[in-house]
Chains A and B, each alone.
Chain A
Amino acid sequence: MPLIEFAEVTHAFGDGQPVLKDITVELTERRIGVIGANGSGKSTFVRMINGLVIPEAGTVRVDGDSTANQARRIRRKVGFCFTNPDSQIVMPTVAEDVAFGLRRLRLSKTEVQQRVTDVLATYGLTELADRPAHTLSGGQKQLLALASVVVTEPEVLILDEPTTLLDLSNERRIRHEIERLDLQVILVTHHLHLLDGFDRTLVFDNGRLVCDDEPDQARAAYRSLAS
Protein backbone atom coordinates (compact mmCIF):
# COMPACT_ATOMS: atom_id res chain seq x y z
CA MET A 1 0.00 0.00 0.00
CA PRO A 2 1.27 3.55 -0.73
CA LEU A 3 2.49 5.50 2.27
CA ILE A 4 0.48 8.67 2.88
CA GLU A 5 2.09 11.10 5.31
CA PHE A 6 0.71 14.27 6.86
CA ALA A 7 3.37 16.29 8.72
CA GLU A 8 2.23 19.17 10.93
CA VAL A 9 -0.48 20.17 8.47
CA THR A 10 -2.51 23.28 9.21
CA HIS A 11 -4.88 24.93 6.77
CA ALA A 12 -7.37 27.78 6.67
CA PHE A 13 -9.65 28.98 3.86
CA GLY A 14 -10.40 32.59 2.96
CA ASP A 15 -12.00 33.63 6.26
CA GLY A 16 -8.82 32.72 8.18
CA GLN A 17 -10.63 30.20 10.38
CA PRO A 18 -8.45 27.03 10.48
CA VAL A 19 -10.17 23.97 9.01
CA LEU A 20 -7.28 21.66 9.90
CA LYS A 21 -4.93 22.16 12.82
CA ASP A 22 -1.56 20.53 13.25
CA ILE A 23 -2.33 17.14 11.70
CA THR A 24 0.47 14.58 11.76
CA VAL A 25 -0.43 11.07 10.70
CA GLU A 26 0.78 8.21 8.48
CA LEU A 27 -1.70 6.07 6.54
CA THR A 28 -0.67 2.67 5.23
CA GLU A 29 -3.67 0.44 5.93
CA ARG A 30 -5.87 -1.08 3.22
CA ARG A 31 -9.17 0.28 4.56
CA ILE A 32 -9.25 3.61 6.38
CA GLY A 33 -12.38 5.41 7.53
CA VAL A 34 -12.69 9.14 8.20
CA ILE A 35 -15.59 10.41 10.29
CA GLY A 36 -16.62 13.62 12.00
CA ALA A 37 -19.34 16.23 12.12
CA ASN A 38 -20.09 18.57 9.20
CA GLY A 39 -17.34 21.17 9.00
CA SER A 40 -14.94 19.12 11.12
CA GLY A 41 -12.27 19.14 8.38
CA LYS A 42 -12.53 15.56 7.15
CA SER A 43 -13.25 16.46 3.50
CA THR A 44 -10.40 18.98 3.46
CA PHE A 45 -8.17 16.26 4.94
CA VAL A 46 -8.87 13.78 2.13
CA ARG A 47 -8.77 16.49 -0.57
CA MET A 48 -5.22 17.15 0.51
CA ILE A 49 -4.20 13.60 -0.30
CA ASN A 50 -4.47 14.09 -4.05
CA GLY A 51 -3.58 17.75 -4.00
CA LEU A 52 -7.02 19.27 -4.51
CA VAL A 53 -6.16 21.37 -1.47
CA ILE A 54 -2.55 22.30 -0.75
CA PRO A 55 -1.86 22.94 2.95
CA GLU A 56 -0.81 26.40 4.06
CA ALA A 57 1.59 24.90 6.58
CA GLY A 58 3.10 21.44 6.79
CA THR A 59 3.42 18.82 4.06
CA VAL A 60 1.38 15.99 2.62
CA ARG A 61 3.32 13.22 0.88
CA VAL A 62 2.25 10.13 -1.04
CA ASP A 63 5.04 7.61 -1.47
CA GLY A 64 7.49 10.41 -0.79
CA ASP A 65 6.06 12.84 -3.37
CA SER A 66 4.82 16.13 -1.95
CA THR A 67 1.37 17.31 -3.07
CA ALA A 68 2.79 20.84 -3.22
CA ASN A 69 4.99 20.10 -6.23
CA GLN A 70 4.20 16.57 -7.43
CA ALA A 71 0.41 16.73 -7.51
CA ARG A 72 0.15 15.49 -11.10
CA ARG A 73 2.16 12.37 -10.34
CA ILE A 74 0.19 11.78 -7.17
CA ARG A 75 -3.15 12.03 -8.97
CA ARG A 76 -2.16 9.12 -11.19
CA LYS A 77 -1.97 7.04 -8.02
CA VAL A 78 -4.81 8.56 -6.04
CA GLY A 79 -8.35 8.46 -7.44
CA PHE A 80 -11.13 10.60 -5.97
CA CYS A 81 -14.92 10.10 -5.89
CA PHE A 82 -17.04 13.09 -4.88
CA THR A 83 -20.22 13.09 -2.82
CA ASN A 84 -22.28 14.33 -5.73
CA PRO A 85 -21.50 12.22 -8.79
CA ASP A 86 -23.01 14.91 -11.06
CA SER A 87 -20.01 17.10 -10.41
CA GLN A 88 -17.74 14.31 -11.57
CA ILE A 89 -19.44 13.48 -14.85
CA VAL A 90 -17.60 15.19 -17.67
CA MET A 91 -18.75 13.48 -20.87
CA PRO A 92 -22.33 13.12 -22.10
CA THR A 93 -22.68 9.34 -22.21
CA VAL A 94 -21.78 6.61 -19.73
CA ALA A 95 -19.15 4.84 -21.85
CA GLU A 96 -17.58 8.12 -22.95
CA ASP A 97 -17.31 9.33 -19.38
CA VAL A 98 -15.55 6.15 -18.33
CA ALA A 99 -13.20 6.43 -21.33
CA PHE A 100 -12.50 10.11 -20.65
CA GLY A 101 -10.27 9.42 -17.63
CA LEU A 102 -8.09 7.18 -19.79
CA ARG A 103 -7.18 9.96 -22.24
CA ARG A 104 -4.40 11.21 -20.01
CA LEU A 105 -2.87 7.70 -19.94
CA ARG A 106 -2.46 7.80 -23.74
CA LEU A 107 -3.48 4.16 -24.24
CA SER A 108 -4.31 2.61 -27.61
CA LYS A 109 -7.94 2.73 -28.74
CA THR A 110 -8.19 -1.04 -28.38
CA GLU A 111 -6.97 -0.96 -24.81
CA VAL A 112 -9.28 1.93 -23.93
CA GLN A 113 -12.22 0.01 -25.39
CA GLN A 114 -11.24 -3.15 -23.53
CA ARG A 115 -10.88 -1.39 -20.20
CA VAL A 116 -14.19 0.47 -20.64
CA THR A 117 -16.01 -2.73 -21.59
CA ASP A 118 -14.55 -4.57 -18.59
CA VAL A 119 -15.30 -1.89 -16.03
CA LEU A 120 -18.84 -1.34 -17.33
CA ALA A 121 -19.46 -5.07 -16.98
CA THR A 122 -17.96 -5.11 -13.48
CA TYR A 123 -20.32 -2.39 -12.30
CA GLY A 124 -23.38 -3.64 -14.20
CA LEU A 125 -23.44 -0.62 -16.51
CA THR A 126 -23.04 -2.38 -19.87
CA GLU A 127 -26.69 -1.88 -20.82
CA LEU A 128 -26.40 1.81 -20.04
CA ALA A 129 -23.22 2.43 -22.05
CA ASP A 130 -24.86 4.81 -24.57
CA ARG A 131 -27.28 6.45 -22.14
CA PRO A 132 -26.79 10.17 -21.37
CA ALA A 133 -25.00 10.03 -18.02
CA HIS A 134 -27.17 12.74 -16.46
CA THR A 135 -30.32 10.67 -16.96
CA LEU A 136 -29.10 7.86 -14.69
CA SER A 137 -30.47 7.33 -11.20
CA GLY A 138 -28.45 8.50 -8.20
CA GLY A 139 -27.11 5.01 -7.52
CA GLN A 140 -26.20 4.43 -11.15
CA LYS A 141 -24.42 7.79 -11.28
CA GLN A 142 -22.38 6.92 -8.20
CA LEU A 143 -21.48 3.56 -9.77
CA LEU A 144 -20.45 5.43 -12.92
CA ALA A 145 -18.31 7.83 -10.87
CA LEU A 146 -16.68 4.85 -9.19
CA ALA A 147 -16.16 3.05 -12.51
CA SER A 148 -14.69 6.20 -14.10
CA VAL A 149 -12.04 6.37 -11.39
CA VAL A 150 -11.36 2.64 -11.01
CA VAL A 151 -10.80 2.23 -14.78
CA THR A 152 -7.64 4.34 -14.46
CA GLU A 153 -6.28 1.74 -12.01
CA PRO A 154 -5.27 4.01 -9.11
CA GLU A 155 -3.41 2.61 -6.11
CA VAL A 156 -5.51 4.60 -3.64
CA LEU A 157 -9.19 5.48 -3.89
CA ILE A 158 -10.68 8.29 -1.84
CA LEU A 159 -14.44 8.28 -1.48
CA ASP A 160 -15.89 11.47 -0.01
CA GLU A 161 -19.32 10.54 1.41
CA PRO A 162 -20.27 8.41 -1.61
CA THR A 163 -23.52 7.15 -0.09
CA THR A 164 -24.88 10.40 1.35
CA LEU A 165 -27.33 10.97 -1.53
CA LEU A 166 -28.31 7.32 -1.96
CA ASP A 167 -31.21 5.17 -0.78
CA LEU A 168 -30.64 2.01 1.26
CA SER A 169 -30.46 -0.37 -1.68
CA ASN A 170 -27.94 1.76 -3.58
CA GLU A 171 -25.95 2.32 -0.41
CA ARG A 172 -25.65 -1.47 -0.06
CA ARG A 173 -24.56 -1.75 -3.68
CA ILE A 174 -21.84 0.87 -3.26
CA ARG A 175 -20.71 -0.77 -0.02
CA HIS A 176 -20.45 -4.10 -1.81
CA GLU A 177 -18.40 -2.54 -4.59
CA ILE A 178 -16.09 -0.86 -2.08
CA GLU A 179 -15.53 -4.19 -0.34
CA ARG A 180 -14.52 -5.78 -3.65
CA LEU A 181 -11.93 -3.15 -4.53
CA ASP A 182 -8.40 -4.49 -4.51
CA LEU A 183 -6.69 -1.22 -3.59
CA GLN A 184 -6.24 1.11 -0.66
CA VAL A 185 -9.52 2.84 0.19
CA ILE A 186 -10.01 5.96 2.28
CA LEU A 187 -13.69 6.47 2.97
CA VAL A 188 -15.24 9.63 4.40
CA THR A 189 -18.72 8.88 5.65
CA HIS A 190 -21.56 9.68 8.00
CA HIS A 191 -22.88 6.14 7.58
CA LEU A 192 -20.86 4.55 10.37
CA HIS A 193 -21.81 0.96 9.58
CA LEU A 194 -19.88 1.23 6.30
CA LEU A 195 -16.73 1.09 8.41
CA ASP A 196 -17.36 -2.49 9.59
CA GLY A 197 -14.27 -4.52 8.80
CA PHE A 198 -12.10 -1.45 8.21
CA ASP A 199 -8.54 -1.50 9.52
CA ARG A 200 -8.47 2.00 10.97
CA THR A 201 -10.72 5.00 11.49
CA LEU A 202 -9.85 8.65 12.07
CA VAL A 203 -12.21 11.00 13.88
CA PHE A 204 -12.07 14.74 13.22
CA ASP A 205 -13.53 17.42 15.41
CA ASN A 206 -13.22 21.13 14.78
CA GLY A 207 -10.17 20.68 12.53
CA ARG A 208 -8.31 18.37 14.88
CA LEU A 209 -7.66 14.64 14.66
CA VAL A 210 -9.15 13.61 17.99
CA CYS A 211 -9.20 9.83 17.65
CA ASP A 212 -7.20 7.35 15.55
CA ASP A 213 -8.26 3.81 16.32
CA GLU A 214 -10.10 0.71 15.16
CA PRO A 215 -13.64 1.40 13.88
CA ASP A 216 -15.50 0.38 17.08
CA GLN A 217 -13.45 2.64 19.33
CA ALA A 218 -13.49 5.48 16.80
CA ARG A 219 -17.27 5.26 16.38
CA ALA A 220 -17.69 5.35 20.16
CA ALA A 221 -15.47 8.43 20.35
CA TYR A 222 -17.46 10.14 17.59
CA ARG A 223 -20.79 9.32 19.26
CA SER A 224 -19.56 10.76 22.55
CA LEU A 225 -18.49 13.93 20.74
CA ALA A 226 -21.90 14.22 19.11
CA SER A 227 -23.88 13.63 22.30
Chain B
Amino acid sequence: MSDLMTYVPGTSILHRTKAGTKVLALAVVSIATVVIDNLWLTAAALVLAATAAATARMPRKVLVRQWKAYLLIVVLLGGYQWLTDGPATAFHVAGGLAALLVLAGVISSTTRTTELLDLAVWGATPLKRVGVDPERFGIALALGIRSVAVVFDLARDVREAQLARGLGFSLRAFAVPLVVRSLRQADGLAEALIARGFDD
Protein backbone atom coordinates (compact mmCIF):
# COMPACT_ATOMS: atom_id res chain seq x y z
CA MET B 1 0.00 0.00 0.00
CA SER B 2 1.32 3.41 -0.88
CA ASP B 3 2.29 5.73 1.94
CA LEU B 4 0.38 8.53 0.28
CA MET B 5 -2.54 9.75 2.36
CA THR B 6 -2.10 6.89 4.84
CA TYR B 7 -2.04 7.29 8.60
CA VAL B 8 1.33 6.59 10.20
CA PRO B 9 0.98 5.76 13.92
CA GLY B 10 2.94 8.04 16.23
CA THR B 11 2.90 10.15 19.39
CA SER B 12 4.09 13.52 18.06
CA ILE B 13 2.28 16.73 18.95
CA LEU B 14 0.75 16.72 15.46
CA HIS B 15 -0.61 13.21 16.05
CA ARG B 16 -2.25 14.48 19.22
CA THR B 17 -3.63 17.68 17.70
CA LYS B 18 -7.31 17.55 16.76
CA ALA B 19 -8.13 16.94 13.10
CA GLY B 20 -10.23 20.12 12.95
CA THR B 21 -7.33 22.29 14.11
CA LYS B 22 -4.96 20.80 11.52
CA VAL B 23 -7.43 21.12 8.67
CA LEU B 24 -8.26 24.70 9.67
CA ALA B 25 -4.55 25.57 9.74
CA LEU B 26 -4.11 24.03 6.29
CA ALA B 27 -7.06 26.03 4.99
CA VAL B 28 -5.60 29.28 6.35
CA VAL B 29 -2.16 28.59 4.82
CA SER B 30 -3.76 27.56 1.52
CA ILE B 31 -5.83 30.72 1.22
CA ALA B 32 -2.93 32.95 2.26
CA THR B 33 -0.53 31.28 -0.17
CA VAL B 34 -2.91 31.47 -3.09
CA VAL B 35 -4.35 34.95 -2.47
CA ILE B 36 -1.27 36.87 -1.32
CA ASP B 37 1.39 37.12 -4.01
CA ASN B 38 4.43 37.53 -1.80
CA LEU B 39 7.66 35.57 -2.08
CA TRP B 40 8.42 35.90 1.64
CA LEU B 41 5.05 34.36 2.40
CA THR B 42 5.77 31.46 0.04
CA ALA B 43 9.15 30.97 1.72
CA ALA B 44 7.44 31.03 5.12
CA ALA B 45 4.93 28.40 3.94
CA LEU B 46 7.80 26.19 2.83
CA VAL B 47 9.54 26.60 6.18
CA LEU B 48 6.27 25.84 7.96
CA ALA B 49 5.79 22.69 5.86
CA ALA B 50 9.33 21.50 6.58
CA THR B 51 8.87 22.21 10.30
CA ALA B 52 5.57 20.32 10.35
CA ALA B 53 7.17 17.35 8.59
CA ALA B 54 10.01 17.34 11.13
CA THR B 55 7.64 17.75 14.08
CA ALA B 56 5.47 14.84 12.92
CA ARG B 57 8.52 12.57 13.31
CA MET B 58 7.43 10.46 10.37
CA PRO B 59 9.79 7.76 9.09
CA ARG B 60 12.18 9.22 6.52
CA LYS B 61 11.24 6.63 3.90
CA VAL B 62 7.57 7.64 4.18
CA LEU B 63 8.47 11.31 3.69
CA VAL B 64 10.72 10.52 0.74
CA ARG B 65 8.01 8.44 -0.93
CA GLN B 66 5.44 11.17 -0.41
CA TRP B 67 7.74 13.89 -1.72
CA LYS B 68 8.77 11.82 -4.72
CA ALA B 69 5.11 11.52 -5.66
CA TYR B 70 4.67 15.32 -5.59
CA LEU B 71 8.01 16.19 -7.16
CA LEU B 72 7.10 15.69 -10.81
CA ILE B 73 4.05 17.94 -10.78
CA VAL B 74 5.87 20.64 -8.79
CA VAL B 75 8.86 20.61 -11.16
CA LEU B 76 6.67 20.62 -14.28
CA LEU B 77 4.52 23.45 -12.97
CA GLY B 78 7.53 25.42 -11.77
CA GLY B 79 9.32 24.94 -15.08
CA TYR B 80 6.31 26.09 -17.05
CA GLN B 81 5.83 29.18 -14.86
CA TRP B 82 9.55 30.01 -15.14
CA LEU B 83 9.34 29.93 -18.94
CA THR B 84 6.12 31.92 -19.18
CA ASP B 85 6.24 34.34 -16.22
CA GLY B 86 9.76 34.24 -14.84
CA PRO B 87 11.48 32.85 -11.74
CA ALA B 88 9.55 34.86 -9.15
CA THR B 89 6.17 33.54 -10.29
CA ALA B 90 7.64 30.04 -10.62
CA PHE B 91 8.83 30.18 -7.01
CA HIS B 92 5.49 31.55 -5.82
CA VAL B 93 3.36 28.95 -7.67
CA ALA B 94 5.54 25.84 -7.40
CA GLY B 95 6.83 26.69 -3.90
CA GLY B 96 3.32 27.36 -2.64
CA LEU B 97 2.03 24.13 -4.15
CA ALA B 98 4.92 22.14 -2.70
CA ALA B 99 4.29 23.60 0.76
CA LEU B 100 0.59 22.78 0.61
CA LEU B 101 1.21 19.22 -0.66
CA VAL B 102 3.72 18.56 2.13
CA LEU B 103 1.34 19.97 4.74
CA ALA B 104 -1.54 17.89 3.36
CA GLY B 105 0.69 14.81 3.46
CA VAL B 106 1.68 15.54 7.06
CA ILE B 107 -1.96 15.98 8.07
CA SER B 108 -3.10 12.75 6.40
CA SER B 109 -0.15 10.87 7.92
CA THR B 110 -0.82 12.13 11.44
CA THR B 111 -4.61 11.94 11.42
CA ARG B 112 -6.70 8.80 11.43
CA THR B 113 -9.10 8.60 8.52
CA THR B 114 -11.90 8.06 11.03
CA GLU B 115 -11.14 11.48 12.58
CA LEU B 116 -11.19 13.12 9.15
CA LEU B 117 -14.43 11.30 8.39
CA ASP B 118 -16.01 12.51 11.65
CA LEU B 119 -14.82 16.04 10.87
CA ALA B 120 -16.32 15.90 7.37
CA VAL B 121 -19.62 14.59 8.76
CA TRP B 122 -19.65 17.39 11.34
CA GLY B 123 -18.76 19.98 8.70
CA ALA B 124 -21.51 18.77 6.38
CA THR B 125 -24.22 18.76 9.06
CA PRO B 126 -25.61 22.19 8.03
CA LEU B 127 -26.10 20.78 4.51
CA LYS B 128 -28.82 18.52 5.91
CA ARG B 129 -31.23 21.40 5.26
CA VAL B 130 -30.62 21.08 1.51
CA GLY B 131 -30.99 17.31 1.52
CA VAL B 132 -27.33 16.28 1.86
CA ASP B 133 -26.70 13.24 4.09
CA PRO B 134 -23.62 14.23 6.17
CA GLU B 135 -22.69 10.60 6.87
CA ARG B 136 -22.73 9.77 3.18
CA PHE B 137 -20.73 12.93 2.41
CA GLY B 138 -18.11 11.96 5.01
CA ILE B 139 -17.81 8.40 3.74
CA ALA B 140 -17.46 9.62 0.15
CA LEU B 141 -14.68 11.97 1.23
CA ALA B 142 -12.88 9.24 3.22
CA LEU B 143 -13.11 6.87 0.27
CA GLY B 144 -11.78 9.61 -2.00
CA ILE B 145 -8.76 10.10 0.25
CA ARG B 146 -8.11 6.37 0.37
CA SER B 147 -8.55 5.99 -3.37
CA VAL B 148 -5.50 8.18 -4.04
CA ALA B 149 -3.25 5.55 -2.47
CA VAL B 150 -5.16 2.67 -4.07
CA VAL B 151 -4.80 4.13 -7.58
CA PHE B 152 -1.09 4.77 -6.97
CA ASP B 153 -0.69 1.09 -6.04
CA LEU B 154 -2.67 -0.06 -9.07
CA ALA B 155 -0.47 2.10 -11.30
CA ARG B 156 2.64 0.52 -9.78
CA ASP B 157 1.20 -2.98 -10.30
CA VAL B 158 0.40 -2.25 -13.95
CA ARG B 159 3.90 -0.86 -14.53
CA GLU B 160 5.51 -3.89 -12.84
CA ALA B 161 3.38 -6.24 -14.96
CA GLN B 162 4.59 -4.42 -18.08
CA LEU B 163 8.21 -4.63 -16.97
CA ALA B 164 7.83 -8.33 -16.11
CA ARG B 165 6.70 -8.94 -19.67
CA GLY B 166 9.63 -6.97 -21.06
CA LEU B 167 7.51 -4.10 -22.39
CA GLY B 168 8.71 -0.51 -22.64
CA PHE B 169 6.52 2.40 -21.60
CA SER B 170 3.41 2.93 -23.67
CA LEU B 171 0.77 5.37 -22.50
CA ARG B 172 -2.06 3.27 -23.96
CA ALA B 173 -0.72 -0.01 -22.58
CA PHE B 174 -0.42 1.70 -19.19
CA ALA B 175 -3.68 3.66 -19.11
CA VAL B 176 -6.10 0.97 -20.34
CA PRO B 177 -5.32 -1.68 -17.69
CA LEU B 178 -5.09 1.03 -15.03
CA VAL B 179 -8.58 2.30 -15.86
CA VAL B 180 -9.97 -1.25 -16.07
CA ARG B 181 -8.41 -2.23 -12.73
CA SER B 182 -9.58 1.00 -11.10
CA LEU B 183 -13.14 0.37 -12.25
CA ARG B 184 -12.97 -3.23 -11.02
CA GLN B 185 -11.63 -2.02 -7.69
CA ALA B 186 -14.47 0.50 -7.50
CA ASP B 187 -17.01 -2.25 -8.27
CA GLY B 188 -15.58 -4.49 -5.54
CA LEU B 189 -15.56 -1.64 -3.05
CA ALA B 190 -19.14 -0.70 -3.91
CA GLU B 191 -20.25 -4.30 -3.40
CA ALA B 192 -18.38 -4.47 -0.09
CA LEU B 193 -20.04 -1.25 1.06
CA ILE B 194 -23.46 -2.60 0.12
CA ALA B 195 -22.73 -5.89 1.88
CA ARG B 196 -21.73 -3.93 4.99
CA GLY B 197 -25.02 -2.05 4.95
CA PHE B 198 -23.92 1.28 3.44
CA ASP B 199 -26.44 1.27 0.64
CA ASP B 200 -28.78 3.93 2.00
Whether A134 lies near B1 (C-beta < 8 A) is yes
Whether A72 lies near B199 (C-beta < 8 A) is yes
Interface digits, B160-196 against A, CB 8 Å rule (1 contact, 0 not)?
Answer: 0000000000000000000000000100110111111
Q: How far is the CA of A88 from the CA of B187 in the complex (A)?
A: 11
- Name B196's contact: one of A84, A90, A133 (CB within 8 Å): A90
Whether A82 lies near B192 (C-beta < 8 A) is yes
Is A69 at the interface (CB under 8 A from chain B)?
Answer: no
Tell me which residues across on chain A come within 8 A of B193, comparing CB atoms. Answer: 90
Q: Which of B18-26, B32-40, B141-149 forms contacts with chain A? A: B141-149
Tell me which residues across on chain A come within 8 A of B189, comparing CB atoms. Answer: 87, 90
Residue of B6, B193, B197, B200 ringed by the most chain A CB atoms within 10 A: B197
Is A101 at the interface (CB under 8 A from chain B)?
Answer: yes
Whether A99 lies near B114 (C-beta < 8 A) is yes
Is A148 at the interface (CB under 8 A from chain B)?
Answer: yes
Whether A76 lies near B197 (C-beta < 8 A) is yes
Is A96 at the interface (CB under 8 A from chain B)?
Answer: yes
Q: How far is the CA of A195 from the CA of B139 in the complex (A)?
A: 38
Whether A92 lies near B149 (C-beta < 8 A) is yes
- Name A72's contact: one of B9, B139, B197 (CB within 8 Å): B197
Whether A75 lies near B199 (C-beta < 8 A) is yes
A166 CB, min distance to chain B CBs, angstroms: 18
Tell me which residues across on chain A come within 8 A of B192, comparing CB atoms. Answer: 82, 87-90
Is B42 at the interface (CB under 8 A from chain A)?
Answer: no
Interface digits, A99-110 against B, CB 8 Å rule (1 contact, 0 not)?
Answer: 111011000000
Is A52 at the interface (CB under 8 A from chain B)?
Answer: yes
- Name B7's contact: one of A76, A90, A92, A100 (CB within 8 Å): A92
Tell me which residues across on chain B come within 8 A of A177, comparing CB atoms. Answer: none
Q: Which of A41-90 contact B (CB under 8 A)?
A: 50-52, 71-72, 75-76, 79-80, 82, 84, 86-90
Is A149 at the interface (CB under 8 A from chain B)?
Answer: yes
Is A217 at the interface (CB under 8 A from chain B)?
Answer: no
Q: How far is the CA of A152 from the CA of B198 in the complex (A)?
A: 13
Q: How far is the CA of A96 from the CA of B197 in the complex (A)?
A: 16
Whether B196 lies near A87 (C-beta < 8 A) is no
Is A135 at the interface (CB under 8 A from chain B)?
Answer: yes
Whether B1 lies near A130 (C-beta < 8 A) is no
- Name A96's contact: one of B113, B135, B143 (CB within 8 Å): B113
Name 15 extra pairs, CB < 8 A, besides A87-B192, A96-B7, A130-B9: A52-B195, A71-B199, A75-B199, A79-B195, A82-B192, A87-B185, A87-B189, A87-B191, A90-B189, A91-B142, A93-B112, A99-B114, A100-B196, A103-B135, A132-B6
Residues in chain A within 8 A of chain B (CB atoms)? 50-52, 71-72, 75-76, 79-80, 82, 84, 86-93, 96, 99-101, 103-104, 130, 132-135, 148-149, 152
17 residue pairs of the A-B complex, CB under 8 angstroms, read A52-B195, A75-B195, A76-B197, A80-B195, A80-B196, A84-B188, A87-B189, A90-B193, A91-B113, A91-B114, A91-B142, A92-B7, A93-B7, A93-B113, A101-B197, A103-B198, A149-B196
